[in-house]
Amino acid sequence: MIYKSLSTKFNNMPTMLFLYQFITSAGLPIIQLLLKWRIIMGKEEAARIEERRGVASIYRPKGPLIWIHAASLGEAQSVLIFIERLIHERPSMNILVTTGTVTSAYLMKERLPKQAFHQFVPVDRLTWVKRFLDYWKPDLAIWVESELWPNLLLETSARGTNMVLLNGRISTDSFIMWKKVKKLASRLLSTFTLVLAQDDISAERFRILGAKNIIISGNLKTSASPLPANASSLLEIQDSIGNRPLWLAASTHASEETIIGQVHAIIIKKIPNLLTIIAPRHPQRSKQIVKALKEEGLIVARRSLAEKITKNTDIYLVDRTGELGLFYRVTKIAFIGGSLVEHGGQNLLEAALLKCVILHGPHMTNFQQIANSLSSAGASLVVNNTEALADSVKSLLVNPKNANKMAEIAAETIKLDDSVLEQVIFNLAPLLELIESND
């Protein structure tokens, strides 16, 4: 994204673009060092790092190609059902999916259907962007939610490629930032032929910032199918847990795992055989998480190392991607992370669809509408600190009938909404037909 420092110093759109392109070009040594550092930190795949420089690692198939850019895991998950539908209805289409995170790459490897394939998005440096576009030559570019990279957007548009913003959303903080550079925002948003917004609030924000042809299509996440789970793995984990009371902290962020460990220590005084499962948002942090939990005096078993759950295990750390569907099925109580820290929360729908009571912190701006619906229906609990989370989890564990009732309400509240997917497909039809007629 555009650095905030630029937004405060320069409000002239051509000047800002020139500076941005100059910095991303002249800053090559720094960018190279940053990529090396990210490899060391596990935030990049070393074997595929050339993709970040715009160098493809696979052949481009013949025929029309739709490029879908989904920034990270959440956005990638939300478009899977759309990709499946697209391929089913338009079998001549090839789908290129780009993301920028290792976890989303793992998900795409496991769950992308045939005719769809994954590459890492190039760093937004003009030379690398041109190399990427020269090779892939997309017939249509679809950007998911709100990540706006200037060079990628402007260069794709300059080549005459139709562009769509799918499931468009602008948070309050992002809206405030973009209003400071409204001319630039308008220039970037003008590259989109069509903006499909999640809700009326985002639609109005896009309009104020200068977007055209905005349609409110709804949140595509509500059309997603329940997360999958391997049947044999489910039986295996259920056998290893036995009849122990348990709860799950899903998609946790840095510092939240320590809070979860402290919650476990509080509850275990009343429920001595409690098992707490933690599935961090970024599994590559597992070593730091284990260290922090052991400092709390807790015994941790790591799933990635095939460590067994014993009667002494306090925390089972699910440090592998793509397994939330499995663990939402073994518990009725799910705390959703990114909400006790100022991140904006993670996806509540996935747990609700699999009949979990939802607990989350006060920071849920990324999923505020869904959080409000669950809260109004009595299917979720908002917790502001360690003590509140411990009290809520303990109450649900000792009152399983209440937990089951809330879980049923959660699933009923978050029913699959096929109308959103239908609306998206309907509005994209003219652009898709244009591709097929030109082929």
State the total domains in the chain. Answer: 2
Residues 95-122, mean pLDDT to the nearest whole number: 92
Q: What is the pLDDT of residues 5-19, one digit of tens each?
A: 444 444 566 778 888
Q: Are 255 and 385 in contact (CB under 8 A)?
A: no
Does one domain contain both 116 and 188? yes
Per-residue pLDDT, 2:
42
Please check the confidence at residue 4 and state whether its pLDDT lies above 70. Answer: no
Q: Are residues 238 and 218 in the same domain?
A: no
145 is catalytic: no
Residues 28 and 166 reside in one and the same domain: yes
Same domain as 434, residue 326:
no
Around 247, how many Cα atoms within 13 Å sit in the side-chain half-sphere? Answer: 28
Instruction: Looking at the structure, tell me whether residues 366 and 408 fall in a common domain.
Output: yes
What does the pLDDT look like over 427-437, one tens digit per residue?
999 999 999 87
Q: In terms of domains, do 177 and 264 share one?
A: no
**Coil, helix or strand at residue 358:** strand
CATH number for 317: 3.40.50.2000
> pLDDT tens, 44-83?
999 999 999 999 999 999 999 999 999 888 888 889 989 9
Rounded distance, CA 145 to CA 219, Å? 10
The pLDDT confidence band at residue 242, using thresholds 50, 70 and 90, is very high
Catalytic residue among 44, 51, 75, 155: 75
Contact 120, 45 (CB under 8 A): yes
Burial class (CB in 10 A: 0-12, 13-18, 19+), 364: buried
Question: E-strand spans in 322-362?
Answer: 333-336, 357-360
Whether residues 183 and 320 fall in one domain: no
Residue 95: closest CA among 75, 78, 112: 112
Q: Provide the pLDDT for residue 76.
A: 87
Say yes or no: 181 and 242 in one domain: no
Task: Tell me, yes or no, whether 351 and 392 share the same domain.
Answer: yes
Q: Of the given ranges (70-84, 299-313, 341-355), which has the lowest mean pLDDT?
A: 70-84
Whether 416 has a pLDDT exceeding 80, the answer reads: no
Residues 70 and 204 in one domain: yes
What domain range includes position 380?
231-413
Q: Dihedral sign, CA of 294, 299, 304, 306? A: positive
Q: Give the residue-averaged pLDDT of 398-412.
A: 94
The reply to whether 125 and 28 lie within a common domain is yes
Q: What is the CATH number of the domain that holds 114?
A: 3.40.50.11720
244 and 393 housed in the same domain: yes
Is the predicted pLDDT of residue 171 greater than 90, yes or no?
no
Read off the pLDDT of each residue in 394-407 and give the average, rounded to a whole number: 95
